[in-house]
Structure 1
Amino acid sequence: MRPMDWRQIMMVSAVGVVCLGWLLVAGVLLRAVLGEADWQAMMALLGGRIGLLAMLWALALIPVSLLIGHLLEHYVRAPARLAMALRSALHAGVHRPVVPDGSRETRELAELVNALVAEREAMHRDMDARVREASRATELERNRLAALMSELGRSVIVCNLDGRILLYNQRARLQFRRLSRAAGWMGGAELIGLGRSIYTVLDRELVAHALENVQRRLARGAEAPSAQFVTPIASGGLLRVQMAPVQTDPESLEGDPEAVAEGSGERGHALAGFVLLLENVTEQQRADAEEDRLVARLVADGRHLASRARDVLSEPSLAVGEAIPQVGNTTEVRVLLAGFEARLEQFSRERAALLPARWSLDDMLGSELLEMLEQNIVDRLALAVSRIDCSTSPWLRVESYSFMQAVLHLVKRVHRDCGAGALQIGLVSDAPGAALELRWNSDSAPTPHLVGDWMASSVAGNGESGLSVAQVLARHGGSLELLEPTGGTVGVRLPLRLAPPQEELPQETWLRGDSRPEYYDFDLFRASARVSSLEDSRLEDLVFTVFDTETTGLDPAGGDQILQLGAVRIVNGRVLPHESFEQLVDPKRAIPAAGIAIHGITPEMVRDQPGIETVLPAFHAFCEGTVLVAHNAAFDMRCLQLAESRAGVQFDHPVLDTLLLSAVLSPEETSHRLESIAERLGLPIIGRHTAMGDALVTAEIFVRLLRLLADRGINTLAQARVASRNTYLARLRY
Structure 2
Amino acid sequence: MAELALSVLVCNIEGRILLYNDSARQLLETGRGGAPAAGMAAIGLGRSVFGAIERGLILHALEQIQQQLRDSGDGAARPVSGFVATLAQGQIVRAHMAPVFDSAHALNGFVLTLEDITRNVEADSRRDALLQSLTQDARATLANIRTAVEAIQAYPEMSAAKRTQLTGIIDDESQRLVHQIGRAVDQRGAGMDSHQELEEMRGADLLALLLRRIGSPSLSVATSDTVDATLWLKVDSYALTQALAYLAQRLATEASVTELHFGLYRAGRLAYLDLTWRGTPLTADTLRVWENAPLPINAAGAALSLSALIARQGGEAVCSAGESPDVARYRLMLPVSEPGSALDIPPAQEGRPEFYDFDLFHRPGQSAEIDQCQLSKLNYTVFDTETTGLDPAAGDEIISIGALRIVNGRLLQRESFDQLIQPRGALSAGSIAIHGITHAMLNGQPPIETVLPQFHRFAADTVLVAHNAAFDMKFLQMLEARTGTAFTQPVLDTLLLSQVIHPHQAEHTLEAIAGRLGVAIIGRHTALGDAIVTGEVFLKMTPLLAEIGICTLKEARDAAQQTHYARIRY
TM-score range normalised by the length of the shorter chain: 0.5 to 0.7
* Structure 1 residue 199, shift from structure 2 partner: 1.7
Q: 1:567 aligns with which of 397, 403, 422?
A: 403
**Aligned in 2, Cα 1:305/1:637: closer, same or farther, shift over 3 Å?**
closer
Deviations for 1:301-360, whole angstroms, at most 9, x for unmatched residues?
Answer: 778888858985995669763789xxxxxxxxxxxxxxxxxxxxxxxxxxxxxxxx999x
- Tell me which amino acid in the other structure corresponds to 2:61: A
**Aligned in 2, Cα 1:205/1:609: closer, same or farther, shift over 3 Å?**
closer
2:61 corresponding residue in structure 1: 210
What is the correspondence of 1:347-362 to structure 2 with a 5 Å cutoff?
none
Deviations for 1:52-80, whole angstroms, at most 9, x for unmatched residues?
Answer: xxxxxxxxxxxxxxxxxxxxxxxxxxxxx
Q: Hey, what's the Cα distance between the residues in 1 that align with 2:114 and 2:470? A: 41
Q: Is the CA contact 2:10–2:109 (under 8 Å) kept in the aligned structure 1?
A: yes
- Tell me which amino acid in the other structure corresponds to 2:8: V
- Asked if residue 175 in structure 1 is aligned to residue 31 in structure 2, the reply is no
2:505 corresponding residue in structure 1: 669
What is the correspondence of 1:334-345 to structure 2 with a 5 Å cutoff?
none
1:589 corresponding residue in structure 2: 425
2:2 corresponding residue in structure 1: 146
Shifted more, 656-665 versus 537-546: the winner is 537-546
**Aligned in 2, Cα 1:644/1:532: closer, same or farther, shift over 3 Å?**
closer
- Tell me which amino acid in the other structure corresponds to 1:171: S
* Structure 1 residue 527, shift from structure 2 partner: 2.0
Q: Is the CA contact 2:389–2:397 (under 8 Å) kept in the aligned structure 1?
A: yes
Q: Hey, what's the Cα distance between the residues in 2 that align with 1:159 and 1:305? A: 57
1:714 corresponding residue in structure 2: 550
Q: Hey, what's the Cα distance between the residues in 2 that align with 1:302 and 1:645? A: 60
The normalised TM-score by structure 2 is 0.59
Q: Hey, what's the Cα distance between the residues in 2 that align with 1:720 and 1:318? A: 107
Q: 2:541 aligns with which of 705, 712, 731?
A: 705
- Tell me which amino acid in the other structure corresponds to 2:42: L
**Aligned in 2, Cα 1:642/1:320: closer, same or farther, shift over 3 Å?**
farther
Q: 2:160 aligns with which of 321, 328, 347?
A: 321
2:100 corresponding residue in structure 1: 246
2:479 corresponding residue in structure 1: 643
Greater C-alpha Rg: 1
Q: Hey, what's the Cα distance between the residues in 1 that align with 2:391 and 2:141? A: 81
* Structure 1 residue 699, shift from structure 2 partner: 0.6
- Tell me which amino acid in the other structure corresponds to 2:96: Q
- Asked if residue 223 in structure 1 is aligned to residue 58 in structure 2, the reply is no
Q: Is the CA contact 1:186–1:618 (under 8 Å) kept in the aligned structure 2?
A: no
Q: Hey, what's the Cα distance between the residues in 2 that align with 1:655 and 1:589? A: 29
2:413 corresponding residue in structure 1: 577
> How many residue pairs align between the two structures?
376
- Asked if residue 528 in structure 1 is aligned to residue 363 in structure 2, the reply is yes
* Structure 1 residue 628, shift from structure 2 partner: 0.7
* Structure 1 residue 187, shift from structure 2 partner: 5.6
Q: Which runs of 5+ in 2 are unaligned?
A: 165-193, 197-352
Q: 1:659 aligns with which of 465, 489, 495?
A: 495
* Structure 1 residue 207, shift from structure 2 partner: 2.2
SS of 2:160 mapped into structure 1? coil
Deviations for 1:377-423, whole angstroms, at most 9, x for unmatched residues?
Answer: xxxxxxxxxxxxxxxxxxxxxxxxxxxxxxxxxxxxxxxxxxxxxxx
Q: Hey, what's the Cα distance between the residues in 1 that align with 2:98 and 2:58? A: 11
**Aligned in 2, Cα 1:629/1:286: closer, same or farther, shift over 3 Å?**
same
Deviations for 1:535-579, whole angstroms, at most 9, x for unmatched residues?
Answer: 222222221110111122222233322221111111111111111
- Tell me which amino acid in the other structure corresponds to 2:477: Q
- Tell me which amino acid in the other structure corresponds to 1:197: S
- Tell me which amino acid in the other structure corresponds to 1:146: A
Q: Is the CA contact 1:176–1:187 (under 8 Å) kept in the aligned structure 2?
A: no
2:45 corresponding residue in structure 1: 194
Q: Hey, what's the Cα distance between the residues in 2 that align with 1:595 and 1:237? A: 41
2:379 corresponding residue in structure 1: 543
The normalised TM-score by structure 1 is 0.46
**Aligned in 2, Cα 1:669/1:306: closer, same or farther, shift over 3 Å?**
same
Q: Percent identity?
A: 49
2:561 corresponding residue in structure 1: 725
Shifted more, 677-686 versus 550-559: the winner is 550-559
Q: Hey, what's the Cα distance between the residues in 2 that align with 1:684 and 1:187? A: 33
- Tell me which amino acid in the other structure corresponds to 1:321: A
Q: Which runs of 5+ in 1 are unaligned?
A: 1-144, 251-259, 261-268, 325-356, 360-517
1:274 corresponding residue in structure 2: 110
**Aligned in 2, Cα 1:320/1:699: closer, same or farther, shift over 3 Å?**
farther
- Tell me which amino acid in the other structure corresponds to 2:430: A
Greater share of strand residues, 1 or 2? Answer: 2
**Aligned in 2, Cα 1:732/1:232: closer, same or farther, shift over 3 Å?**
same
Q: Could you say what the CA RMSD is over the residues aligned between the two structures, in angstroms?
A: 3.4
SS of 1:546 mapped into structure 2? strand
* Structure 1 residue 190, shift from structure 2 partner: 2.8
Q: Hey, what's the Cα distance between the residues in 1 that align with 2:88 and 2:536? A: 36
* Structure 1 residue 732, shift from structure 2 partner: 1.7
1:691 corresponding residue in structure 2: 527
Q: Hey, what's the Cα distance between the residues in 2 that align with 1:629 and 1:239? A: 35
* Structure 1 residue 688, shift from structure 2 partner: 0.5
